[in-house]
């Protein structure tokens, strides 16, 4: 757990380690042993060689890790020098997909639902048009709020990181379009969802405990670090760290339709809901998706990425993908 700002809450290291050391075994069987898995298929070796091969000119790949899972087991992986199977790797906006998972768990437990009005106190006035914003609008980035992300350094989603209360900054944005009618990528909307999760489960420490108890420990994700802002809200828009195998385990949760072992932890409709395209984009709800007619999705399909694929994505090319490549063969990478 990392916190930013002088007023940030602090959870002792021993308490964090206790959360990681679950008394119950993971529901997900081990996907590999302690050593990196060497591929036995020459085609996989060639693919890994290509992934780690640096081009002569920029943009360089600088690949850190690749993990390929088939039928619930790692069948090939490779790591850059200084990185191993337990090394936490920053996921940047892949963290948005973790927020999706936490909301999927909360929906399964009856704590929230995509169709509910977003429980944001600042929007409750009868005359405030933002009271019409639903949870799904936040998840699909169709709130209509002036929170477009341009990465200019001056856009609201960039400025949000300058504030101790990141979500508190975001919820004060004015509305510029009707909810559900306009899509614009926005880390700030996911940060609002993170505050909703914090409030629903009872606070910063409870957020951490909920994430470990309900998501990370059942999946056997042991090398996770979460970051919080100074108000104790999970930085849900970016910055979670986890090992490459841990990220693959998150993909397996979605590949198996939200079921781990014999337990459903995501709502039964959650995976299809999350992978369904938003408006005319190739974005779903916390994931990018090929289940779309958008040119980007069609281009990925032409390049060989399955039509039913959807994936978590980070700004520097981090990916966790879920897809069914042919009948009976499931792959997460």
The tens digit of pLDDT for each residue in 96-125 reads 999 999 999 999 999 999 999 999 999 999
What pLDDT sits at residue 59? 87
What pLDDT sits at residue 151? 87
What pLDDT sits at residue 329? 30
| DSSP state for residue 214 in the 8-state scheme | I
What are the residues whose beta carbons fall under 8 Å from the beta carbon of 188, sequence distance 6 or more?
A: 145, 147, 149, 156, 157, 160, 166, 169, 170, 173, 237
Whether 160 contacts 188, CB under 8 Å: yes
d(CA 269, CA 246): 24
Q: Looking at 4-18, 21-35, 245-259, which range is the least confident one?
A: 4-18
The Cβ of residue 121 has, within 10 Å, a number of other Cβ atoms equal to 8
Confidence of residue 24 (pLDDT cuts 50, 70, 90): confident
**10-19 average pLDDT score:** 62
What are the residues whose beta carbons fall under 8 Å from the beta carbon of 215, sequence distance 6 or more?
A: 98, 101, 102, 105, 221, 265
What pLDDT sits at residue 327? 31
What pLDDT sits at residue 12? 58
d(CA 231, CA 41): 49
pLDDT in tens, 185-200: 999 999 999 999 999 9
What pLDDT sits at residue 280? 97
Q: Looking at 15-19, 106-110, 274-278, 305-309, which range is the least confident one?
A: 15-19
Predicted structure pTM score: 0.91
What pLDDT sits at residue 319? 59
What pLDDT sits at residue 142? 98
Residue of 67, 63, 14, 16 whose CA lies nearest to 38 = 67
Over 60: is that where the pLDDT of 333 sits?
no
Over 80: is that where the pLDDT of 23 sits?
no
For residue 278, is the peptide bond before it cis, meaning its omega torsion is within 30 degrees of 0?
Answer: no
Over 90: is that where the pLDDT of 323 sits?
no
Confidence of residue 324 (pLDDT cuts 50, 70, 90): very low
Characterize 122-152 residue by residue with b for buried, 16 or more Cβ atoms within 10 angstroms of its Cβ, and e for exposed: ebeeeeeebebbbbbbbbbbbbbbebbbeee
Beta bridge partners of 69: 74, 332
What pLDDT sits at residue 16? 63
What pLDDT sits at residue 314? 84
Confidence of residue 60 (pLDDT cuts 50, 70, 90): confident
Mean model confidence pLDDT for the chain: 91
Confidence of residue 315 (pLDDT cuts 50, 70, 90): confident
d(CA 133, CA 180): 8
Over 50: is that where the pLDDT of 330 sits?
no
């Amino acid at each position: 757990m990392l916190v930013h700002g002088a007023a940030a809450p602090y959870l002792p290291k021993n308490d964090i380690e206790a959360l990681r050391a679950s008394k119950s075994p993971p529901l997900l069987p081990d996907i590999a042993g302690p050593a990196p898995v060497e591929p036995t298929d020459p085609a996989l070796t060639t693919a890994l060689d290509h992934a780690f091969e640096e081009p002569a000119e920029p943009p360089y790949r600088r690949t850190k890790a690749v993990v390929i899972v088939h039928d619930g087991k790692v069948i090939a992986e490779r790591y850059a020098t200084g990185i191993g199977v337990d090394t936490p790797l920053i996921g940047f906006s892949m963290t948005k997909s973790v927020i999706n998972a936490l909301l999927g768990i909360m929906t399964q437990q009856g704590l929230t639902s995509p169709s509910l009005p977003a429980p944001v106190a600042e929007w409750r006035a009868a005359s405030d048009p933002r009271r019409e914003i639903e949870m799904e609008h936040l998840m699909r980035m169709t709130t209509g709020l002036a929170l477009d992300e341009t990465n200019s350094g001056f856009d609201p989603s960039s400025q949000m990181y300058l504030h101790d209360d990141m979500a508190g900054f975001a919820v004060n944005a004015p509305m510029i379009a009707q909810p559900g009618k306009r899509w614009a990528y926005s880390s700030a909307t996911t940060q609002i969802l993170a505050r909703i999760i914090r409030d629903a489960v009872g606070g910063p420490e409870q957020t951490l405990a909920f994430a470990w108890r309900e998501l990370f420990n059942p999946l056997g994700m042991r090398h996770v670090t979460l970051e919080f802002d100074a108000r104790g809200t999970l930085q849900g828009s970016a910055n979670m760290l986890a090992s490459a195998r841990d990220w693959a385990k998150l993909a397996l949760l979605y590949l198996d339709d939200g079921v781990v072992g014999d337990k459903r932890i995501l709502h039964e409709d959650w995976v299809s809901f999350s992978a369904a395209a938003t408006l005319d984009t190739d974005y779903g709800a916390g994931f990018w998706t090929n289940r779309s007619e958008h040119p980007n999705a069609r281009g990925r399909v032409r390049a060989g990425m399955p039509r039913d694929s959807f994936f978590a994505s980070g700004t520097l090319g981090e990916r966790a993908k879920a897809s069914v490549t042919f009948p009976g063969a499931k792959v997460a990478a």
